Amino acid sequence: MRLVSPNDEPVGEIELVEKKYRCRLREGFFLTMEDTLQIVATLNLSNTEYRVLLALLANLDYGNFIRKKQSIIASKTNIKPSNFSKALQKLKALGLVFVEDTDEGRLLRVSSALAWKGHANREFEAIYHKDSTRLSNEIQMLK
């Protein structure tokens, strides 16, 4: 591309280089559903139950799995393991968290109605468009 002065005289040339935007976020974020957060806000969770839920979300891995040991998460959040376990049982009963059998063994998994961490695949698209039977069932469990 040529640069010209206001009098249309050439003053030099420049080369335009297209710089692609590169997302710097590699870890530490997930998608959450506003509607479900509103439902969670009405569940009358105790402070410990909220803290456990937030700690689980903070340790969310791809596919919504929690791959860290409960004792480690409890220790990092200064919650006694027995209190952590009781709060976790309540979150399971409410359908916010459940246990799933995987190739890695039995892992905790946060409901995809609440949050999603992973690649944009069919499950994510179903959640985003709110047409998934699974998502609908999970949201109904929360109400």
pLDDT band at 131 (very low <50, low <70, confident <90, very high): very low
How many CA atoms lie within 13 Å of 18's alpha carbon, on the beta-carbon side?
Answer: 1
Residue 19 clears pLDDT 50, i.e. is over it: yes
**Tens digit of each residue's pLDDT (9 = 90 or more) over 31-80:** 777 888 888 888 899 999 999 999 999 999 888 899 999 999 999 999 99
Q: Is the pLDDT of residue 6 over 80?
A: no
> How would you classify the pairing of strands 65-66 and 60-61?
antiparallel
The Cα angle at residue 97 between residues 95 and 98, in degrees rounded to 5: 90
Sign of the dihedral through C-alpha 83, 53, 41, 134:
negative
Q: How confident is the model at residue 132 (pLDDT cuts 50, 70, 90)?
A: very low
More confident residue, 23 or 86: 86
Using CA atoms, how far residue 76 sits from 19, 60, 62, 70, 84, in Å, is 41, 15, 21, 10, 11
Tokens of 84: 């952590």
Given a contact cutoff of 8 angstroms between Cβ atoms, the answer to whether 60 and 66 are in contact is yes
pLDDT at 83: 97
Element (H, E) at 116: strand 115-116
Q: What is the pTM of this model?
A: 0.68
